Amino acid sequence: MLRSLRDKTVKTAGAGILAIASVEVITKLPSEGRSSQLYHDLSDKVITPLFRKVLNPEDAHNVAIYSVKNGFAPTLRPNTQEASKAVNLESKGPSGIIFPNCIGLAAGFDKDGVAIQGLMDLGFGFVEIGSVTPQPQPGNPKPRMFRLEDDLGVINRFGFNSIGMDAVEENLKCFRNKCGTDEDDSNERNDSANALDRLIVISKVVFRFSKGAWNFVFPLSPIATSSLLGVNLGKNKKSQHETEDYEVGISKLGGYADYLVINISSPNTPGLRNLQKSEPIRRLLKVAIQKRDGLKNKPPLFVKIAPDLSLDEMKDIASAVIENNVDGILVTNTTNQRPDSLKSSKSSEAGGLSGLPIRDISTECIRKMYALTKGRVFIIGSGGVGNGHDVYEKLKAGASVVQIYSRMVYEGPGVVSRIRKDLSNIMLENGQSSVEDVVGLDHENIYWDKRMKRVANERKDENSILALSSNV
């Protein structure tokens, strides 16, 4: 049975990779690059549904990671609106960091940090890996991931499966030092003679040659800024200490991160959500900030919360974040709720629900948290994002950047390009040229107060420049 499954996986992945590579060589148009309509249609409307039909959710996920890691995923070329600078999707974060665009990948897709660059090349402004636990742990028994196809949702109960921080640190070192993937692949796979490996090696050689030749004739459009890397930190299932796992994670991995996330809201680790309560969260945030401040790079620190909190609990978290000078809040994780609208037969499975069914729940949590913090705290919005309108609604509710994950299961990697283009069009239609023009629009008083302060600061900067130029 295992041999049959492996043969099926090899044949499916091999056929998909060969088809994508062939069309990529043929359709690499100067204006579209790997974002050509034909390429997207093949990848998102043929290969992605094929994987869903042939492979179980976790196997399909592993093939997707393998494909991205080995350079077969699409890469983004800016859409016309962004390329012409009619719209700027970058977002200014805390501590001076700049998110090159406001669409990011949520934690959970690349738990171990093995495919970071390939994921960034899809067009994400930031990629968040993890959750990473101090010690390796297998997570919950399989099956532990379920597609809700009729609802465009996903239920997972992975339970923080992780290779551990030592191994992830090596992956992050490799990413930061731009290690070559070929040597890594050969070390990782001692039995490199299997059919899939040979097919990948041949396809990569053909692909790299054609890519180099084409881009020599038609140079790539420049992409201004590289994506940011977030590291999401989790807690081992058997750990009895309230804060120690997070302290270890900050010390060990913080130096490689552009930002850090303290995950205290996964529904799949017993007792973890208790850390969202008033006293535990204050103790945790206090020591986390102290540990972060001891790092040379001092990356912004965020805390990830659940969508199942009461208003009083949200008020308490908002005050704890502000009291401890935490840089931001990630709103939200998956939910334990099961909306009555769910149609899929798998909807009764235990675990956290994500995707379209939690879109409105997540957006409302963002709206409440932005109001509770009076717009003073940076918010990363996550939950149910599948198109530019979903992003726009979350930005209006108070998020400064958003994350996607589950919708890629149904729409493929090309969804990133479509969301960016869609959002750009919506912003132009509403007379907005920057993300700052949209963030918090649902909160009229807060929005205009922040806008007036921003305009005043811009005028102050202009006056300073004029004064300097007049003295020259």
Q: What is the DSSP string of 201-248?
A: HHHHHHHHHHHHHHHHHSPPPP--SPPEEEEEE---TT---SSHHHHH
Q: Which of 32-36, 65-69, 238-242 is predicted least confidently?
A: 32-36
Q: What is the DSSP letter of 43?
A: I
Residues near 127 by beta carbon (within 8 Å), at least 6 away in sequence: 104, 105, 110, 116, 119, 120, 227, 228, 229, 230
**DSSP labels for 331-393?**
E---BS---TT---GGGGSSSEEEEGGGHHHHHHHHHHHHHHTTT-SEEEEESS--SHHHHHH
- Please list the active-site residues: 266
The model's confidence at residue 466, banded by pLDDT at 50, 70 and 90, is low
Q: Which of 198-202, 220-224, 324-328 is predicted least confidently?
A: 220-224
Residue 301 has a pLDDT of 98
Q: Read off the pLDDT of each residue in 248-271 and give the average, rounded to a whole number.
A: 97
Query: Of 313 and 472, which is predicted with more confidence?
Result: 313
Instruction: Please compute, for residue 33, the number of CA atoms within 13 A of its CA located in the half-sphere on the CB side.
Output: 22
Question: Residue 398 pLDDT > 70, yes or no?
Answer: yes
- Say which residue the tokens 């492979």 belong to: 55
Residue 188 has a pLDDT of 41
Cα–Cα nearest to 365, from 326, 420, 436, 317:
317
Burial group, residue 201, by CB count within 10 angstroms (0-12, 13-18, 19+) = middle
Question: Residue 361 pLDDT > 90, yes or no?
Answer: yes
Question: Residue 28 pLDDT > 90, yes or no?
Answer: no
Q: Read off the pLDDT of each residue in 86-98 and give the average, rounded to a whole number.
A: 97
Query: Of 28 and 151, which is predicted with more confidence?
Result: 151
Residue 209 has a pLDDT of 66
Question: Sheet of 145-148: strands edge to edge?
Answer: 145-148, 153-156, 352-355
Q: Read off the pLDDT of each residue in 13-21 and give the average, rounded to a whole number.
A: 60
Tell me the average pLDDT of the chain.
88
pLDDT in tens, 39-52: 667 778 899 999 99
Cα–Cα nearest to 146, from 133, 138, 137, 155:
155
| C-alpha span between 408 and 386 (Å, rounded) | 8
| C-alpha span between 21 and 408 (Å, rounded) | 20
Residue 85 backbone zone (phi > 0: left; psi -120 to 50: alpha; other: beta):
left
Residue 76 has a pLDDT of 84
* Residue 371 near residue 443, CB atoms below 8 Å: yes
Q: What is the DSSP letter of 111?
A: T
Residue 191 has a pLDDT of 46
Q: What is the pTM of this model?
A: 0.86
Question: Residue 25 pLDDT > 80, yes or no?
Answer: no
Q: Indicate the SS3 state at residue 400.
A: coil
Q: Read off the pLDDT of each residue in 446-465 and give the average, rounded to a whole number.
A: 81
Residue 101 has a pLDDT of 97
pLDDT in tens, 215-242: 555 455 444 458 999 999 999 999 999 9
Residue 458 has a pLDDT of 76
- State the SS3 of 112-159: CCCCHHHHHHCCCCEEEEEEECCCCECCCCCCCEEEECCCCEEEECCC
